[in-house]
């Protein structure tokens, strides 16, 4: 295939990818958008097969076939609950591929310009960090590794040393000095840096880490594009990098944390001391007059408006089906039900939306924090299912805690609140939840799915 | 291809991507991330070039093809599965 035709094809391919992303801005067109993106990328791959003259190469075709089978099996075997770690794992594979490309160029080719060697070295390093970082994150998300952030003493020192070593290695590799030994060493060091980065990330910071790793996989692809002179790689890699960057910024904003702080290693456990004075909670002026807590079933039956606040606990307890059942029952009683979703609820951006979509909760009932926060004060009943830090009023009062300044769902302003959480322990951030102490709050401890089942049963009998 | 042209492509793609991606609603952030994730498997294209180019690259290239290929195929299918779940049931009374 001639260069001009190939070029035209690649530009068309990039345009297809962009058109696909354009369609992703609405749930109605997103399916089509995804298919468009997939087809465009597939087209680019086929073009490249012919352009590189490997369309009849059995090793290449075999590898593609194997990838198709494994990828397809993975996609159909995975359950929705395992989505976060699946996304992390797949992300790591892309990084690994970029690293291998960099490695192959560095140790396999003698005649390559300095710029391309340098790009290969960077692709090797960024790809390797993405790979080991993503696998570590996937391990944490799946529970294979401890979910709590692992405190690494002198993290800054270690990470700086590793980064400096990598920088030196990049220079050596760019000038083609001892690539046969330097490249594998750089690979190992970069893998170590990725683990060091991700092992300290705790559950609540996971959405940030996942978004960042997503961005890095795109960046490593773009760098690999410079190494092999591929417009397709550079353009698509850059788009992915931008996407991950946007999500990272949104996640950081939603937690009121700067990316720099997260990267520097100020993990959430720093404030496990949780110096919150058990002061009088920000009182709601609609405190019920009765001193004893009202019966949750009565509350549900009598509520005129209900807002459900899901959190990671709902995912852990797999309670989304019960949540849906309860919402349906309430709606049958003509009680309007809405869902309020905090941007960082769960372990990845949009986690709650996916879980609720799985059980057929229609997406027009899901409201973002800013859209619903002002309505809490006029809501009869808020049902919190496995959410803690994101509804903790202490976020606005408890200085020096990790959640200080984090925008929260102001669930406590509702007339009544039922909280279905596992226990009354502090949430991930380690800050005691002052919501539990409010007079209008009924705390139902235990597995959220079980609690909801009981509520549903009682509500049916009633 | 000229290095400068690639830099220009990088800048344009980042800017266009940034503009379009900001329009994606938070509801679709997981599928978006997973879709972008699939796209990052585009490094498959580099792996194809490597695998065909020289002896040493063959096996590393083949490995990279498998990994990037799983990334693409798995990523798009997972995204598809997720997106299909998003439904608006009562579209007729409040659309």
Half-sphere exposure of A173 (CA within 13 A, CB side): 34
Residue B6 and residue A75: Cβ atoms within 8 Å? no
Contacts of B9 in chain A (CB under 8 A): 231, 234-235, 238
State whether residue B44 is helix, strand or coil. Answer: helix
Which residues is A341 bridged to in the sheet? Answer: A368
User: Domain A296-461, what fold?
Assistant: Rossmann fold (3.40.50)
Query: pLDDT-based confidence at A269, cuts 50/70/90?
Result: very low
Contact of B52 with chain A, judged by CB distance below 8 Å, is answered with: yes
Q: How many CB pairs under 8 A join A and B?
A: 379
> What pLDDT was estimated at residue B38?
93
Among A16, A87, A102, A215, pick the best mutation site for testing chain B contact (most B Cβ within 10 A): A87
Rounded Cα distance between A416 and A296, Å, is: 9
| pLDDT average, residue stretch A96-113 | 85
State pLDDT tens for residues B16-62: 999 988 888 888 988 998 999 999 999 999 999 888 776 767 888 89
Residue B13 and residue A115: Cβ atoms within 8 Å? no
Residue B76 and residue A38: Cβ atoms within 8 Å? yes
Query: How is residue A250 written in tokens?
Result: 């949104």
CB A372 within 8 A of CB A338: yes
Rounded Cα distance between A431 and A427, Å, is: 6
- Identity of the residue in A108, A217, A364 whose CB atom sits nearest the CB atom of B56: A108
- Identity of the residue in B11, B31, B52 whose CB atom sits nearest the CB atom of A57: B52
Residue B9 and residue A234: Cβ atoms within 8 Å? yes
State pLDDT tens for residues A230-254: 999 999 999 999 999 999 988 888 8
Residue B31 and residue A350: Cβ atoms within 8 Å? yes
> What pLDDT was estimated at residue A290?
45
Spatial CB neighbours of A213, under 8 Å, sequence gap ≥ 6: A88, A91, A92, A95, A130, A133, A134, A137, A198, A244
Count Cβ neighbours within 10 Å for each residue of A285-316 and write b for 16 or more, e otherwise.
eeeeeeeeeeebbebbeebebbbbbbbbbbbb
State pLDDT tens for residues A356-374: 998 989 888 999 998 999 9
State pLDDT tens for residues A289-341: 445 678 888 888 888 899 999 998 898 888 999 999 999 999 988 899 999 99
Residue B91 has pLDDT above 70, yes or no: no
State pLDDT tens for residues A68-100: 999 999 998 988 788 888 999 999 999 999 999
Residue A277 has pLDDT above 70, yes or no: no
Contact of B60 with chain A, judged by CB distance below 8 Å, is answered with: yes
Higher-pLDDT residue of A292 and A178 is A178
Half-sphere exposure of A230 (CA within 13 A, CB side): 34
Per-domain residue ranges of chain B: 3-85
Contacts of A96 in chain B (CB under 8 A): 64, 67
Rounded Cα distance between A39 and B54, Å, is: 29
State pLDDT tens for residues A22-63: 999 898 899 999 999 999 999 999 999 999 888 888 889 999
Q: How far is CA A198 from the centre of its chain?
A: 13
Count Cβ neighbours within 10 Å for each residue of A20-34 and write b for 16 or more, e otherwise.
bbbbbbebeebbebb
Per-domain residue ranges of chain A: 1-77, 83-269, 296-461
Contact of B4 with chain A, judged by CB distance below 8 Å, is answered with: no
In terms of Cα–Cα distance, which of A371, A366, A380 is closest to A284?
A: A380
- Identity of the residue in B17, B50, B79 whose CB atom sits nearest the CB atom of A243: B17
State pLDDT tens for residues A382-404: 999 988 888 988 888 877 777 77
Contact of B8 with chain A, judged by CB distance below 8 Å, is answered with: no
> What pLDDT was estimated at residue A203?
65
> What pLDDT was estimated at residue A132?
96
Positions of A annotated as catalytic residues are: 389
> What pLDDT was estimated at residue B89?
60
Contacts of A62 in chain B (CB under 8 A): 62
Residue A67 and residue B65: Cβ atoms within 8 Å? yes
Rounded Cα distance between A357 and A391, Å, is: 22
> What pLDDT was estimated at residue B54?
65
């Amino acid at each position: 295939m001639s260069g001009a035709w190939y070029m035209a094809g690649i530009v068309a391919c990039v345009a297809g990818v962009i058109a696909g992303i354009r369609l992703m801005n609405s749930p109605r067109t997103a399916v089509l958008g995804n298919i468009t993106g997939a087809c465009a990328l597939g087209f680019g791959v086929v073009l490249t097969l012919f352009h590189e003259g490997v369309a009849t190469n059995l090793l290449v075709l075999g590898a593609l076939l194997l990838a198709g089978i494994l990828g397809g099996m993975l996609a159909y075997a995975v359950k929705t609950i395992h989505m976060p770690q699946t996304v992390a794992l797949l992300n790591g594979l892309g990084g690994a591929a970029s690293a291998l490309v960099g490695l192959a160029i560095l140790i396999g080719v003698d005649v390559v310009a300095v710029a391309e060697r340098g790009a290969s070295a960077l692709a090797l390093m960024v790809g390797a960090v993405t790979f080991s970082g993503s696998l570590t994150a996937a391990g944490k998300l799946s529970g294979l590794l401890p979910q709590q952030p692992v405190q690494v003493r002198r993290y800054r020192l270690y990470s700086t040393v590793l980064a400096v070593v990598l920088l030196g290695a990049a220079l050596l590799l760019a000038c083609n000095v001892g690539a046969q030994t330097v490249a594998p060493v750089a690979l190992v060091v970069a893998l170590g840096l990725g683990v060091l980065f991700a092992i300290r990330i705790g559950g609540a910071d996971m959405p940030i880490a996942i978004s960042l790793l997503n961005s890095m996989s795109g960046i490593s692809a773009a760098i690999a594009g410079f190494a092999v002179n591929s417009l397709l790689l550079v353009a698509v890699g850059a788009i992915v990098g931008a996407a991950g960057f946007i999500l990272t910024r949104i996640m950081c904003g939603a937690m009121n944390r700067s990316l720099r702080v997260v990267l520097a290693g100020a993990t959430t456990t720093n404030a496990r001391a949780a110096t919150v004075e058990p002061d009088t909670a920000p009182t709601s002026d609609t405190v019920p007059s009765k001193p004893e807590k009202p019966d949750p079933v009565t509350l549900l039956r009598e509520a005129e408006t209900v807002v459900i606040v899901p959190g990671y606990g709902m995912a852990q307890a797999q309670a989304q089906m019960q949540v849906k059942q309860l919402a349906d029952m309430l709606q049958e009683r003509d009680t309007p039900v809405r869902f309020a979703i905090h941007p960082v609820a769960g372990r990845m951006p949009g986690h709650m939306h996916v879980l609720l979509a799985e059980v057929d909760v229609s997406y027009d009932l899901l409201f973002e924090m800013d859209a619903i926060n002002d309505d809490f004060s006029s809501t009869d009943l808020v049902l919190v299912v496995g959410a803690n830090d994101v509804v903790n009023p202490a976020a606005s009062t408890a200085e020096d805690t990790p959640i200080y300044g984090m925008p929260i769902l102001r669930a406590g302003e509702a007339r009544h609140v039922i909280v279905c959480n596992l226990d009354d322990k502090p949430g991930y951030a380690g800050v005691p939840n002052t919501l539990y102490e409010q007079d209008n709050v009924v705390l139902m401890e235990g597995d959220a799915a079980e609690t909801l089942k009981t509520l549903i049963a009682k509500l049916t009998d009633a | 291809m000229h290095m400068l042209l690639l830099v220009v492509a990088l800048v344009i793609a980042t800017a266009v991507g940034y503009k379009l991606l900001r329009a994606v609603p938070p509801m679709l952030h997981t599928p978006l991330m997973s879709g972008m994730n699939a796209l990052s498997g585009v490094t498959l294209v580099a792996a194809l070039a490597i695998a065909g180019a020289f002896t040493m690259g063959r096996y590393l290239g083949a490995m990279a093809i498998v990994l990037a290929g799983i990334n693409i195929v798995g990523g798009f299918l997972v995204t598809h599965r997720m997106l299909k779940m998003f439904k608006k049931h009562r579209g007729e009374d409040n659309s």
